[in-house]
């Protein structure tokens, strides 16, 4: 039995699938768990050399299913409090 998630609680993520392959995948939106966190709605993203290293298998800790990307611009939606 699968977990039921409201459609508005889903986000698209750029996900590492396997050596040489990324896909856009639906994942649950994150939750704020402490006061030092924020949720940012990404409005513009880019790849960088780190993402290319993951694609080519040069980052051993990058396992299938991880969300990649850290070069982005966005709008702060929530902050921890």
Per-residue pLDDT tens digits for 39-48: 999 999 888 8
pTM of the model: 0.74
Question: Does 19 have pLDDT greater than 80?
Answer: yes
Question: Does 78 have pLDDT greater than 90?
Answer: yes
E strand or H helix that includes residue 15: strand 10-18
Distance CA 44, CA 60 (A): 27
Rounded average pLDDT over 12-22: 92
Distance CA 23, CA 25 (A): 6
Residue among 81, 79, 72 at smallest CA distance from 12: 72
């Amino acid at each position: 039995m699968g977990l039921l998630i409201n459609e508005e609680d889903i986000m698209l993520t750029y996900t590492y699938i396997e050596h040489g392959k990324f896909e856009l995948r639906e994942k649950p939106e994150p939750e704020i768990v402490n006061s030092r966190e924020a949720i940012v709605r990404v409005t513009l993203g880019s790849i960088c050399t780190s993402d290319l290293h993951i694609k080519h298998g040069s980052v051993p800790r990058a396992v299938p299913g991880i969300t990649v990307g850290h070069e982005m611009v966005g709008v702060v939606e929530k902050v921890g409090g």
